[in-house]
Amino acid sequence: WLLGFKPHRVVIASDRIEEYYRHVDLMIDGDFGYVCECSAEAFREFRVSKTNCPCRINEVNYNKELWSKMLDGTFNPGDAVVRVKTDMTLKNPALRDWPALRIQDTIANPHPRENIASKYRVWPLLDFQSAVEDHLQGVTHIIRGKDLMDSTRKQTLLYEHFGWKYPETMYWGRVKVHEWGGFSTSQMRKDIEEGKFSGWSDPRLPTIAGLSGTGIQASALRSFWVELGVTQKDIAVPLATLYSHNIKVIDDNAPRIAFIRDPVEISLVGINENNITIPTHPNHTEMGSRVIDLSNPIVYIEREDLQHSALRLKEFGDFDIDGKVATFVSKERTDKRKIIHWVSQNSSDSSKLELVKDGQLLSIEGRLESHQIKLGTSVQLERIGYGIIAENNKVIFTHN
Ligand SMILES: [Zn+2]
């Protein structure tokens, strides 16, 4: 969805475990990988004191033996890990003989994919897995967060051992969207599990699914990121920036449609037409027109607009208001009276506008102009903003 095309190739790491094991064999044979039986605490000591752990000098054949014990279940989780031999005196502690694979208790905690489940007990760590896979897939460029620079350094050391060429790497800094400052993935997961949100696609959440569900277009997200560029500088932007990209994408194609919040019924007096025709889009006649049925001269306007004694019904005419009766004055504009949107009773249906305001999900009852617009289409709601047509004649608000 985000890229605008389907992936050309999908690689699932858990289907490729044997491939990673094969690379452990190569590491051990090349004597740049070894099985370490030290406890995590013991190894931490060695790392801090820049000393080799006793396992480091084990011979290739003995390492092979230990490696098969990791695989066959002789070792339990925590008993042993496979390490990449770098140098225990390196300045950056994270790079010192970093761990590549470890044993997991997949009987107690099976892998979520059913065909994998408890099939493997030794699992690669992300830096090892992605390093090997990037090479196997022929990856030429990596774009990652600058917080992952140590991953690049670790993986470069592994690539040197294998004699591979490391991909070009670019980094970006933290991009903060002001309005989303308070969200974190772990907190969102917790809140979803506790039922505070309906799921990852909840419109209140700053997730891809949430954004797409409220009508943010993939190409708008892409141009938002392209405009920010790949920079290591931390930046903060308002949500309005993303919205302005979205407006550029949708405005030209968004049919205009009226939604009346808090509708009040008004009778029209002095009109001659049984219907009027107004364009679907002011700049695109090819998008057709909307025919508003006035054979029954009752319209709805927003209660707030009723406080004026003179109003102009948009694309229709000037009216004088007395109570709940509007008397026709002129087709042409006669003065500077307020222009309001409206719907006719015959050409509208009761509907709901769903929107997020201050982190709350609100549902506003109203009247929506009758339409033939397809589900999921972005529309411009007169005087309100943009939204998408959802099921049950509901409109989900995107932004204004
Ligand atoms: Zn050790």
Same domain, 167 and 179: no
Same domain, 288 and 398: yes
In a domain, 213, yes or no: yes
Burial (CB count <10 Å: 0-12, 13-18, 19+), residue 236: exposed
What's the CATH code of the domain at 151? Answer: 3.40.50.620
Instruction: Determine the distance separating the centroid of ligand 1 and the alpha carbon of 68, expressed in angstroms.
Output: 17
Instruction: Determine the distance separating the centroid of ligand 1 and the alpha carbon of 27, expressed in angstroms.
Output: 16
Strand-pair partners of 102: 81, 123
Taking only the tens place, the pLDDT of each residue in 69-90 is 999 999 999 999 999 999 999 9
In a domain, 211, yes or no: yes
Instruction: Determine the distance separating the centroid of ligand 1 and the alpha carbon of 46, expressed in angstroms.
Output: 9
pLDDT of residue 289: 93
Length of the chain: 400
Same domain, 181 and 165: no
What distance in Å separates the CA atoms of residue 148 and residue 171, rounded to the nearest whole number? 8
Instruction: Determine the distance separating the centroid of ligand 1 and the alpha carbon of 55, expressed in angstroms.
Output: 4
Instruction: Determine the distance separating the centroid of ligand 1 and the alpha carbon of 36, expressed in angstroms.
Output: 4
pLDDT of residue 230: 86
In a domain, 71, yes or no: yes
Same domain, 199 and 293: no
Return the DSSP state at 132.
H
Token couple for 73: 């279940």
Instruction: Determine the distance separating the centroid of ligand 1 and the alpha carbon of 118, expressed in angstroms.
Output: 27
Instruction: Determine the distance separating the centroid of ligand 1 and the alpha carbon of 107, expressed in angstroms.
Output: 26
Same domain, 399 and 316: yes
Instruction: Determine the distance separating the centroid of ligand 1 and the alpha carbon of 53, expressed in angstroms.
Output: 5
Same domain, 150 and 209: no
Instruction: Determine the distance separating the centroid of ligand 1 and the alpha carbon of 42, expressed in angstroms.
Output: 8
Neighbours of 97 (CB within 10 A): 24
Same domain, 200 and 162: no
Token couple for 46: 């060695």
In a domain, 318, yes or no: yes
pLDDT of residue 197: 94
Q: Confirm if 119 and 14 have CB atoms less than 8 A apart.
A: no
Instruction: Determine the distance separating the centroid of ligand 1 and the alpha carbon of 40, expressed in angstroms.
Output: 9
Same domain, 200 and 308: no
Burial (CB count <10 Å: 0-12, 13-18, 19+), residue 154: buried
Phi/psi for 318 (5° steps) reads -85, 140
Instruction: Determine the distance separating the centroid of ligand 1 and the alpha carbon of 82, expressed in angstroms.
Output: 9
Q: Which residues contact 152 (CB under 8 A, 6 or more apart)?
A: 142, 144, 166, 169
Q: What is the CA radius of gyration of the chain?
A: 32
What's the CATH code of the domain at 293? Answer: 2.40.240.10
Instruction: Determine the distance separating the centroid of ligand 1 and the alpha carbon of 56, expressed in angstroms.
Output: 6
Give the largest CA-CA distance in the chain: 101
Instruction: Determine the distance separating the centroid of ligand 1 and the alpha carbon of 78, expressed in angstroms.
Output: 12
- Reported ipTM: the value is 0.99
Instruction: Determine the distance separating the centroid of ligand 1 and the alpha carbon of 136, expressed in angstroms.
Output: 29
Instruction: Determine the distance separating the centroid of ligand 1 and the alpha carbon of 19, expressed in angstroms.
Output: 25
What distance in Å separates the CA atoms of residue 116 and residue 110, rounded to the nearest whole number? 8
Same domain, 47 and 19: yes
Instruction: Determine the distance separating the centroid of ligand 1 and the alpha carbon of 103, expressed in angstroms.
Output: 15
pLDDT of residue 136: 98
Domain that holds residue 339: 255-400
Q: Confirm if 383 and 341 have CB atoms less than 8 A apart.
A: yes
Instruction: Determine the distance separating the centroid of ligand 1 and the alpha carbon of 17, expressed in angstroms.
Output: 24
Same domain, 74 and 192: no
Instruction: Determine the distance separating the centroid of ligand 1 and the alpha carbon of 265, expressed in angstroms.
Output: 81
Neighbours of 367 (CB within 10 A): 25
Q: Which residues contact 271 (CB under 8 A, 6 or more apart)?
A: 294, 297, 317, 328
Q: Confirm if 254 and 389 have CB atoms less than 8 A apart.
A: no
In a domain, 3, yes or no: no
Alpha helices in the chain (DSSP H): 17-29, 40-48, 60-72, 126-137, 149-162, 185-193, 208-213, 218-228, 239-250
Instruction: Determine the distance separating the centroid of ligand 1 and the alpha carbon of 47, expressed in angstroms.
Output: 10
Domain boundary among 118, 138, 171: 171
Token couple for 27: 């590491």
pLDDT of residue 359: 86
Instruction: Determine the distance separating the centroid of ligand 1 and the alpha carbon of 216, expressed in angstroms.
Output: 51
Instruction: Determine the distance separating the centroid of ligand 1 and the alpha carbon of 98, expressed in angstroms.
Output: 11
pLDDT in tens, the chain (400 residues): 888 889 999 999 999 999 999 999 999 999 999 999 999 999 999 999 999 999 999 999 999 999 999 999 999 999 999 999 999 999 999 999 999 999 999 999 999 999 999 999 999 999 999 999 999 999 999 999 999 999 999 999 999 999 999 999 999 998 889 988 878 899 999 999 999 999 999 999 999 999 999 999 999 999 999 998 888 999 999 999 999 999 999 999 999 999 999 999 999 999 999 999 999 998 999 999 999 999 999 999 999 999 999 999 999 999 999 999 999 999 999 999 999 999 999 999 999 999 999 889 999 999 999 999 999 999 999 999 999 999 988 999 999 9
In a domain, 7, yes or no: no
How many folded domains does the chain comprise?
A: 3
pLDDT of residue 184: 87
Sign of the dihedral defined by the CA atoms of residues 27, 33, 39, 41, in that order: negative
Instruction: Determine the distance separating the centroid of ligand 1 and the alpha carbon of 169, expressed in angstroms.
Output: 32
Using DSSP's 3-state secondary structure scheme, residue 289 falls into strand
Instruction: Determine the distance separating the centroid of ligand 1 and the alpha carbon of 37, expressed in angstroms.
Output: 5
Token couple for 22: 């094969």
Domain boundary among 229, 253, 277: 253
Same domain, 132 and 275: no
Instruction: Determine the distance separating the centroid of ligand 1 and the alpha carbon of 137, expressed in angstroms.
Output: 32
Domain boundary among 200, 218, 253: 253
What's the CATH code of the domain at 221? Answer: 1.10.1160.10
Instruction: Determine the distance separating the centroid of ligand 1 and the alpha carbon of 13, expressed in angstroms.
Output: 27
Same domain, 201 and 216: yes
Strand-pair partners of 394: 352, 390
Token couple for 321: 């208001």
Instruction: Determine the distance separating the centroid of ligand 1 and the alpha carbon of 166, expressed in angstroms.
Output: 28
In a domain, 4, yes or no: no
pLDDT of residue 260: 97
